[in-house]
Amino acid sequence: MGLAKLIERKKYDVYLLWATLLLAVLGMVMVSSATQVIAKERYATPYFFMQREAMHLGIGILFLLVCMRIPFEIYRRISVIMLVISILLLIAVLLWGKEIRGARRWLTIYHVTIQPVELVKYSLVIFIADLIARGRGGTRRFKEGFLPIFIFSIVIAFLLVLQPNISNAILIIALSMTLLFLGKCKFSHLAGYYGAVVIASAPYLYLRPHVYNRFLGIFNRGEFVLAQNWHVRQSLISLGSGFLFGCGLGNGHQKFNFLPDAHTDFIYSIIGEEIGIAGTLFVLTIFVFMFFRVLKITRNAPNTFGRFLALGIGLVIFSTALINICMSIGLLPTIGLQLPFVSYGGTSLVTSMAATGVLLNISRNGKRNTAKGHFYSAGRRIRPVFARRIRENGGGLVK
């Protein structure tokens, strides 16, 4: 069965699907443009990274189609197992991981290199959504609800700090606190969570001054140009040289080893240089559109677990995209978060596509209103009950 027929028959959110595929295809094109120089230097072919990204996209589409068909309630049954396996992979990274530029973030398993943090983010979302959906108070209960989320998120953040991967550690903490807040967690519990994070992070910032120097560099461009601000400076040059419609696809100059990590962390800057402001606004609009589709899926989800699962996935994708874009335009320091669906990276692309498949499955099982609106459909459900009560009272009015 073709993809279009499958969508039409099963009533998936077609707008979210096509927006995802559009970003993924655009990402493959931009990765090809941004890597031809370094691919030619390292691998003697300008299409090395494009071929690998095409392979990643094919695997990602396969995972998307599979996750579209799997009922999302199944993830609830294996949420703890998925989270424990993800944490074990983080520990394995510290022991046997591949070190690049002083950081251990990649793990090679049978000649396949993965980045376990991408798996951890979605596993944690599933785990938190499960705890929030439980009855009798959910996250308002300290021992059964709040404490497991607090422990797991702190352990994950600590393992990420050891890599070091500060950006994703902050994202994990912010994501868990946001979902706890939306899950009606007690304010005293959240305040204690925040206080513990602040107290634990203060000694680390003292021992690692380069971390807060990156934040200081945002407010003092001149003094840190050749150190913390080099990436941001080259990114702004790339964005500024594109003007309205860019210099043309493949005609950018910053990818000639001026802008570091042009195909990963700063792919948004290459889009601005070669497609212009129009291209960057188009990408931002697509992400905003996708987030609104996620909010609609969240609103129509059939149960609490589906609602918070969809919301958590949407927060992971949109917050990562927003942070990456703010980093590219100089509003945030260089923190190493990729642009979902667009940046080069197999684990990021495949997990994001699989997460989109989960969203599509939730949309298929969501509540649906009639063409005449929600109140009309609600009225049709109420009238038969009212008529039955009249018949039971012998035709008289119900008192």
How far is the C-alpha of 88 from the C-alpha of 93, rounded, in Å? Answer: 9
SS3 165: coil
Rg (CA), the chain: 24
* Start-to-end Cα distance in the chain: 55
- Looking at residue 385, what is its pLDDT? 43
Beta carbons within 8 Å of 381's beta carbon, 6+ residues apart: none
pLDDT exceeds cutoff 70 at 378: no
The answer to whether residue 283 sits within a structural domain is yes
- Looking at residue 291, what is its pLDDT? 95
Range of the domain at 272: 76-341
Average pLDDT over residues 202-213: 69
The answer to whether residue 51 sits within a structural domain is no
Where residue 369 falls among pLDDT bands split at 50, 70, 90? very low
- Looking at residue 41, what is its pLDDT? 84
3-state SS of 199-215?
HHHHHHHHHCHHHHHHH
For the entire predicted model, the pTM comes to 0.85
pLDDT exceeds cutoff 50 at 271: yes
The answer to whether residue 52 sits within a structural domain is no
Beta carbons within 8 Å of 392's beta carbon, 6+ residues apart: none
Average pLDDT over residues 148-152: 90
pLDDT exceeds cutoff 90 at 56: yes
* Range list of β-strands (E), the chain: 98-100, 103-109, 112-114
The answer to whether residue 66 sits within a structural domain is no
The answer to whether residue 121 sits within a structural domain is yes
- Looking at residue 137, what is its pLDDT? 57
Q: pLDDT: is 357 or 368 the higher one?
A: 357
Contact by Cβ (8 Å): 104, 117:
no
Average pLDDT over residues 82-91: 93
Q: How many domains does the chain have?
A: 1
- Looking at residue 357, what is its pLDDT? 95
Contact by Cβ (8 Å): 287, 316:
no
For residue 17, give both structure tokens: 């699907």
The answer to whether residue 234 sits within a structural domain is yes
What mean pLDDT is reported for the chain? 82
pLDDT exceeds cutoff 80 at 158: yes
pLDDT exceeds cutoff 70 at 275: yes
Looking at 161-175, 228-242, 327-341, which range is the least confident one? Answer: 228-242
Burial of 271 (0-12, 13-18, 19+ CB in 10 A): buried
- Looking at residue 381, what is its pLDDT? 40
Average pLDDT over residues 173-187: 89
Where residue 363 falls among pLDDT bands split at 50, 70, 90? very high
Instruction: Report the relative pairing of strands 103-109 and 98-100 from DSSP bridges.
Output: antiparallel
3-state helix, strand, coil in the chain (%, to 5): 70, 5, 25
The answer to whether residue 352 sits within a structural domain is no
Q: What are phi and psi of 112, to 5 degrees?
A: -110, 120
Beta carbons within 8 Å of 279's beta carbon, 6+ residues apart: 242, 245, 246, 271, 272
SS3 16: helix
pLDDT exceeds cutoff 80 at 216: no
pLDDT exceeds cutoff 50 at 304: yes
Burial of 144 (0-12, 13-18, 19+ CB in 10 A): middle
Beta carbons within 8 Å of 96's beta carbon, 6+ residues apart: 107
- Looking at residue 293, what is its pLDDT? 95
- Looking at residue 226, what is its pLDDT? 52
- Looking at residue 232, what is its pLDDT? 80
Q: pLDDT: is 240 or 231 the higher one?
A: 240
- Looking at residue 386, what is its pLDDT? 41
The answer to whether residue 108 sits within a structural domain is yes
